[in-house]
Amino acid sequence: MSRNDNALPAAAGPPRTASKGHEPDGKFPAIPFLTIGTQEASHDRPRRTPLKRTLALGGVAAGLLATALVSQPASADSDVSSDPLANGTAAYNVAAFWLGNQAENLVAATPYNVETTVVAKHVSTGGPAADSKPGVIPAIGDEKKSTSTSKNVNLPKSTGKVFFTVPDGSDADTKPDARWCSATSIQSTYRNLVATAGHCVYDTVTNKTTLDQWVFVPGYYQGKVPWGLYVGKQAFTHYDFDVYEDGDRDYAFVTVYNGIKYVPRPGEASTPFVPSTNDADWREVSKAVYDNPGIWKNFKKEENGKYFLRKFTDAGRLGDNVGGQGLAYNQKLGKATFVFGYPSGSHPDGNYAYSGKTLKWSYGKTFAASAASRKAEELIGIKSSFTGQGSLGSSWLAGYKNTRRLGYLNGVTSAVSDTDGNNRIDTSVSPYFDGETYGVYSAAKNIWSGSIA
């Protein structure tokens, strides 16, 4: 865990146009973009007993989503934690782990089932309150577009699954288990940012800081990566969640490298070939990756004992390929909101309503909620039958424009609940996005990543 002052600075990348952010006159200029970068492996650190933060209570949140922010909320560096995920060869090896053997590990992954269900309450008094004026960040490509309507619900292209590994719980098998959550692409300077639940990035079970081999696959379906696979570079969350596992701050923003795809040459899968160290089409990898059979099997190590695989193809930046949702914070409750995710698992009564294979949507108005088991007193809820496994990290989009498939991210599913005790899930809950959420987002949105292909 590290505070925001250890985040990789945007200045480490190439020259770029300065990002203006919110203008006092209420205009939202387009955000510039460019690419490249490095990172480190995750590390361990002790967990402490959860401690409730003190929320700076303000007046009733005001303003519509269409109302521009007049002044940005103050953001203290102490509110932000950042942690590295992967860099260089390690990042390349992560991609190889997921795409190797005809994407076997992607196909075998199962929904993450940690902290999925809580006993939530609909709060009639109190609840979350804005800590500054309401604000919005426009979605990628939606900076100057007007609102339109449509009768059908067109699913957002930006939504997908994040995949990662956790230690295997069986003594008979030491291979890590592959898991997944829902997530979405979100607006950022370099079009390389993903938003999801905090515990779909940070390890709340063991003493490791972050989950391993973390990647995002937008539009994922049964082993297919239609717009590429994006390896996580750096994770950002609220300090209180990273250190104290504060349920009111269970969200994370992750910068990702350019997407990658594997495009074999004709005959490559059956003809042995020994690459040259100087061959630009090949890249040195670890023996463990080389030994993982599949799309690159039947190749040999070169004469000096090094291992090579054909390079992945760069699929480009995440936001350029699938767009990215905007961000809304300090919004008043009662907003009509869409929830998009991949629910899976059963209801408490044993009924399996969702498979987790296809993207689903739910719709309703937000309300104040709490969940004592998560030490969460300032959540927002929405009526939804989404079951917990798979729906963790689902995007809550307010002001969703159906024809453009864009809206404002105003929450992420952190848990689900059966509030009326009939053994059927009926509510999803999310942290309330306030000025401190915007501060975490702001720390992440200007981090440059680049290509690993």
Q: What digits encode the pLDDT tens for the residues 137-177?
A: 766 665 554 443 334 799 999 999 999 999 875 444 456 89
162 lies in some domain: yes
Pairing status of strand 110-111 against strand 177-186: parallel
In the chain, the amino acid numbered 366 is T
pLDDT digits (tens, 9 = 90+) for 334-380: 999 999 999 998 899 999 989 999 999 999 999 999 888 877 888 99
79 lies in some domain: yes
270 lies in some domain: no
Average pLDDT for residues 397-406, to the nearest whole number?
A: 95
Q: Is the dihedral of CA 386, 388, 390, 394 positive or negative?
A: positive
Rounded to whole angstroms, how far apart are CA atoms 433 and 136? 11
Rounded to whole angstroms, how far apart are CA atoms 43 and 213? 13
At residue 410, the 3 state secondary structure works out as strand
363 lies in some domain: yes
Inter-residue contact 375 to 246 (CB < 8 Å): yes
397 lies in some domain: yes
Global pTM exceeds 0.75: no
* 442 HSE (CA, 13 A, CB side): 24
Confidence at residue 110, expressed as pLDDT on a 0 to 100 scale: 95
309 lies in some domain: no
Q: Which residue has the tokens 């005001």?
A: 62
Distances (CA, A) of 354 to 22, 116, 159, 361, 397: 40, 15, 17, 11, 21
Rounded to whole angstroms, how far apart are CA atoms 80 and 429? 22
- Residue 390's CB: how many other CB atoms inside 10 A? 28
At residue 148, the 3 state secondary structure works out as coil
Q: Which residue has the tokens 């309330």?
A: 432
Give the H or E element holding residue 363.
Answer: strand 360-365
Provide the token pair at 32: 């510039």
Inter-residue contact 238 to 249 (CB < 8 Å): yes
- Provide the domain limits for residue 440: 2-8+75-262+316-445
| Interior angle at CA 400, CA 395 and CA 402, nearest 5 | 115
293 lies in some domain: no
32 lies in some domain: no
Higher pLDDT, 295 or 403: 403
The answer to whether residue 286 scores a pLDDT higher than 60 is yes
How many residues are recorded in the chain? 453
| Total number of domains constituting the chain | 1
* 366 HSE (CA, 13 A, CB side): 29
At residue 438, the 3 state secondary structure works out as helix
